[in-house]
Amino acid sequence: MIKHLRKIFFGLDIAGFNQTGRTDTACLAMRQGLYEALGRALAAGGLQAKGYDLLDRGDGIMAVIDESTGLHTLAGTVVPALATAVHEYNSTARPDAQIRLRAALHSGEVFRDDHGYVGRHVSHAFRLLDGPELRSALNASASVLVLAMSESVWHELEPLSHSGIGYAEILISTKEHAARAWVADFGASPVLAR
């Protein structure tokens, strides 16, 4: 059965997951750390498991979240809580198992069939997450998480205070075209191995 839905897409990717010298044991620890951190962050936003699907990507996760959650909750509560949880994980993790994340936030219509989600909006969230400009933003940062908000998400959230977080407008290259996004760092971590 095919369903037409409106969802929020919150994509996460662990930077350098397969870098040289990182063992499979370290990768397993990172995955476990990411799932635990994301679970804590979603709970901090009041989300229950029935309100989202987590699509595993090996070195990351795409959370497909019910629209009723609201973008304000994701941007204002879940993202900062995730950065805090990752920072706490990193404070006890071995240097080769520490996590730094690229994150993307987008929303829109999607179809769900027996195999999962399909549609241009979920594809756009993946494109933002994998853009070279977001990778560069994380590499230039001391933070544990760099978030890219899509243009549509930004326009919905722009009138609100962003709690003093400095967002910068950038163009992110995607397979189809350059997309405008607003990027910010979360969770500076001086103990993080880079």
What tokens appear for 57 in the block?
Answer: 């990507």
Q: What is the CATH number of the domain that holds 98?
A: 3.30.70.1230
User: 181 near 170, Cβ under 8 Å?
Assistant: yes
Q: Does some domain include residue 194?
A: no
* Displacement of CA 73 from its chain's centroid (Å): 14
Give the CA angle between residues 11, 14, 19 to the nearest 5°. 150
Sign of the Cα torsion 162, 168, 170, 175 reads: negative
**Maximum Cα–Cα distance across the chain:** 49
Residue 158: the pLDDT is: 73
In a domain, 139, yes or no: yes
pLDDT of residue 2: 80
CB 14 within 8 A of CB 89: no
Report yes or no on 193 lying in a domain: no
Q: How many domains, the chain? A: 1
Assess if residue 105 is contained within a domain: yes
Residue 144 is assigned to a structural domain of this protein: yes
Q: What confidence score (pLDDT) does residue 192 get?
A: 37
* Residue 114, in any domain of the structure: yes
Residues of the chain with pLDDT under 70: 159-164, 188-194
Give the model's pLDDT for residue 162: 52
pLDDT of the residue at 107: 95
| Per-residue model confidence (pLDDT) at position 160 | 55
Interatomic CA distance for residues 165 and 173, integer angstroms: 24
Containing domain of residue 130, as a range? 3-188
